[in-house]
Structure 1
Amino acid sequence: MIRLNRQVTVFGSAIFCVVVFSLYLMLDHLQLDNTKSPNNGGDRLQNGQLSILQGKIDRLERLLAENNEIITNIRDSVINLKESVKDGVPGGGNMSQGPYPELLASPPLVLPIDSQDCQFAAREFSEPADGGVQLLDVYDLLTFDNPDGGVWKQGFDITYRENEWDSEPLQVFVVPHSHNDPGWLKTFDDYYRDQTQHILNNMVVKLHEDSRRKMIWSEISYFSKWWDNIDGQKRDAVKSLVERGQLEITTGGWVMPDEANSHYFALIDQLLEGHQWLERNLGVKPETGWAVDPFGYSPTNAYLLKQAGLANMLIQRVHYSIKKHFASQKTLEFFWRQNWGKVLSQSQCFP
């Protein structure tokens, strides 16, 4: 608040200096013209210019007075805000008074915030529940080497007998899904023009051809651009696919964000952007997270997705040594719990 008060004072002083300097240049220019006038015609011209200048000066004086009044009102509002906070009355007291109460009123929170949520950084790591795994301990068990796993590169050495194939049918799950980076080798618009719009157009056609077909989509930045370029008939077709469960929106963020180096403000911001668009245009709320290409995964993002109402998530780019370890322990499905606090948020994960 003190910083704001100083900024207002500096801003007002700068405006005053600019006005004075401009007037000085104008007067100097008129004086120079007068010295060059050889006759009374020049005097009449000078008088006319001076009259125009006087009118401009009067107008500038009025504007400066109005500006001074605005700055004074802002300063008084800041002082009232400071006093109300000091008295322990945020949002009350004199804050609603003055010419700009809407700038000072605190907006209502969409979701209640548990005060304990902001204290997790100061807490010690909690022990995993019975049967749980602390990933920091798993790191100490693995060598993170680079073996050749045969048919499954860096995986298990898979062998089989030909006569075993007829004993039990093999189930194969094919999941058509989106993975459209808004920025990589091309620009956002180039990706949309060359590839993404065709994927989405074909999705509508192919899903309507066979009701057994399904598709999931994650990146709302592309989806919204495509939505703005299609007609009402195709929009209705998309809505019907969503209602029938053939098209599912996963995660629903503006992008599929990197998590290892991203600040949680950015993670929340892009998630809000996507979810608000979905609510306004499709009336849906994602239930599943889909992160198949971030460079590393953060337990904070799992926590944020849980707070956003998602029930489960799928992650893909886990180091092969960790995947092999989880596979050998039959823990590829797990509840991802954060280290902070006793009552933890957890998301069901499938790496």
Structure 2
Amino acid sequence: MKLSRQFTVFGSAIFCVVIFSLYLMLDRGQLDHPKDLKREGTFSKGQLSILQEKIDHLERLLAENNEIISNIRDSVINLSESVKDNRGNLEAINFSKGSFPEFHVLPPLVIPIELEDCHFASKRHAHGSDVQMLDVYDILPFDNPDGGVWKQGFDITYDEHEWDSEPLQVFVVPHSHNDPGWLKTFDDYYRDQTQHILNNMVIKLQEDERRRFIWSEISYFSKWWDSIDSQKRDAVKRLIEVGQFEIVTGGWVMTDEASAHYFAMIDQLLEGHQWLEKNLGVTPRSSWSVDPFGHSSTMPYLLKQSGFGDMLIQRIHYSIKKHFATQKTLEFFWRQSWGRCFSLFITTFTKGNFLVT
């Protein structure tokens, strides 16, 4: 405020000097040019008006500047008081060599392993032999000899008297694997093949109650479901209730297990299961994995944590498949090799028996 008064006094002095100078100029003008008195007087009044506006503007700027300085002063005072209050804390932090303030880091999010899984992993089970795959890899040549009827299968022979005492049980599971993307686009596959497969499924299953069919890719099934009428939808629900039609795995796709991130594997499973729960009230409990490019131990672990009880795999090396067949270990419990505790999983068919083809 003191500064403002000084500027006001200084401005007033300037104003007086200017007025006096103008008066002298006006007086001289009257003596030198009496005919132009009216014109000179008008000009002097205009100059005074402009000067007055400038002085007023200067006073406004000084007032605004005063207000800004006052705000800065208050902020500095508040900051100083805050620093004094926290000086003890600041002095407690020693940034010298080897001494830094402690930062608290949140622990990573982990999926807990159930205790029963750990107990299970430490036991041997009568349902299957204890197979260590690293040992199997060491003894197999991984060659590809001519397998007869099927290039890399088996030379299929049998003794006609071998089954006289006990009949051979063969489980046939009608299914259709539909890739959402391969040689055609998703829509091309649906238009040319998938919709016809599902339409025929409804017709043929109703013709014979002994017939069964399974489906896994919900991306296709949801597109087909949106296109059919209520009568066909009711027929599908009845077939599910009586057990003729079953949804297996129920993921949006049959996920890749070779290079996919586990988050994507979980996300597509959630997508399919949410659709099934909303539209059919179905929760799959068996998994069907016949066409991924190899099988990861992550997938059975995720499925078990999701409530699945069994799964079927198909794409393993022919040498391993033949080895399992000769050792009668095609049905087994799958345990992961990481950590102290191991999660297990049954790799089997829906009803407990299967033949890998």
The two structures have a TM-score, normalised by structure 1, of 0.62
Is 1:199 the equivalent of 2:192? no
Distance 1:241 1:235 in 2: 10
Specify the SS of the correspondent of 1:328: helix
Cα–Cα, structure 1 residues 165 and 336, in superposed 2: closer, same or farther, change >3 Å?
closer
Q: Secondary structure at the match of 2:287?
A: strand
Report the CA distance shift for 1:299/1:128 in structure 2 as closer, same or farther (over 3 A). Answer: farther
- 2:266 aligned partner, one-letter code: I
- Deviation readout 1:61-120 (Å, 9 max, x if unpaired): xxxxxxxxxxxxxxxxxxxxxxxxx8999xxxxxxxxxxxxxxxxxxxxxx964569xxx
| Cα shift at 1:328 | 1.7
Corresponding residue to 1:257 among 255, 267, 271: 255
Which residue of structure 2 lines up, in the alignment, with residue 341 of structure 1? Answer: 339
**SS in structure 1 at match of 2:214:** strand
Deviation of the 1:220 alpha carbon: 0.1
- How far has the Cα of 1:134 moved from its partner? 1.7
Report whether the alignment pairs 1:231 with 2:229: yes
8 Å contact kept, 1:338–1:344: yes
- Paired with 1:347 and 1:128, the residues of 2 have a C-alpha distance of 14
Identical residues among aligned pairs (%): 73
Match of 1:326 in 2: 324
> Residue deviations 1:172-209, cap 9 Å, x none?
43211120000001110011111101111111111111
Aligned residue runs from structure 1 range 33-48, under 5 A: none
What's the offset of the Cα at 1:160?
Answer: 3.5
Cα distance in 1 for partners of 2:295, 2:157 equals 32
The one-letter amino acid of 2:257's match is E
AA of the residue aligned to 1:147: P
Distance, in Å, in 2 between the alignment partners of 1:310 and 1:328 is: 28
Task: Find the counterpart in structure 1 of residue 89 from structure 2.
Answer: none
Residue 170 of structure 1 deviates from its aligned partner by: 4.7
Structure 2 match to 1:220 = 218
CA distance in structure 2 between the partners assigned to 1:87 and 1:343 by the alignment: 29
Is 2:287 aligned against 1:299?
A: no
Give, as a single letter, the amino acid of the residue that structure 2 aligns with 1:335: F
Instruction: Determine if the alignment matches structure 1 residue 182 to structure 2 residue 180.
Output: yes
Q: Residue 285 of structure 2 aligns to which amino acid in structure 1?
A: E
AA partner of residue 325 (structure 2): A
- The alpha-carbon deviation at position 136 of structure 1 amounts to 1.8
- For 2:263, the aligned partner's letter is F
| One-letter code aligned to 1:227 | W
Against the structure 1 CA distance between its residues 273 and 140, is the aligned structure 2 distance closer, same or farther, given a 3 Å change threshold? Answer: same
Query: What secondary structure does 2:181 align onto?
Result: coil
Which of 234, 240, 246 lines up with 1:248 in the alignment? 246
Corresponding residue of 1:270: 268
Distance change in 2, residues 1:333/1:116 (3 Å): closer
Give the structure-2-normalised TM-score.
Answer: 0.61
CA distance in 1, matches of 2:224, 2:171: 28
Deviation sequence 1:240-298 (CA, Å, 0-9, x none) = 11111111000000000110111111100100000000000000100111011110100
State the 1:334 CA deviation: 0.4
| Residues paired across the two proteins, number | 237
Give SS of 2:192's match: helix
- In structure 1, give the amino acid aligned to 2:342: L
SS of residue paired to 1:216: strand
Q: State the distance in 2 between where 1:164 and 1:212 align.
A: 28
Contact conserved, 2:113 with 2:343, CA < 8 A, in 1?
A: no
Q: Secondary structure at the match of 1:213?
A: coil
Give the CA RMSD over aligned residues. Answer: 2.7
Change (3 A) 1:136 1:127: farther
**Conserved? CA contact 1:151–1:158, under 8 Å:** yes
**1:8-19 equivalences in 2 (<5 Å):** none
Looking at structure 2, the residues matched to 150 and 166 of structure 1 have their Cα atoms a distance apart, in angstroms, of 26
Alpha-carbon distance, 1:149 to partner: 2.4
- Say which SS state the counterpart of residue 322 (structure 1) adopts: helix
Deviation for aligned residue 1:148: 1.5
Of 127-136 and 196-205, the range deviating more from structure 2? 127-136
CA deviations 1:38-82 (Å, max 9, x no partner) are xxxxxxxxxxxxxxxxxxxxxxxxxxxxxxxxxxxxxxxxxxxxx
Q: Secondary structure at the match of 2:311?
A: strand
Which protein is bigger by CA-based radius of gyration? 2
Q: 1:237: how far off?
A: 0.8
Amino acid across the alignment from 1:173: F
Structure 1 equivalent of residue 144 of structure 2: 146
**One-letter identity of the residue aligned with 2:320:** I
Question: d(CA) in 2 for partners of 1:251 and 1:207?
Answer: 21
The answer to whether structure 1 residue 283 and structure 2 residue 274 are counterparts is no
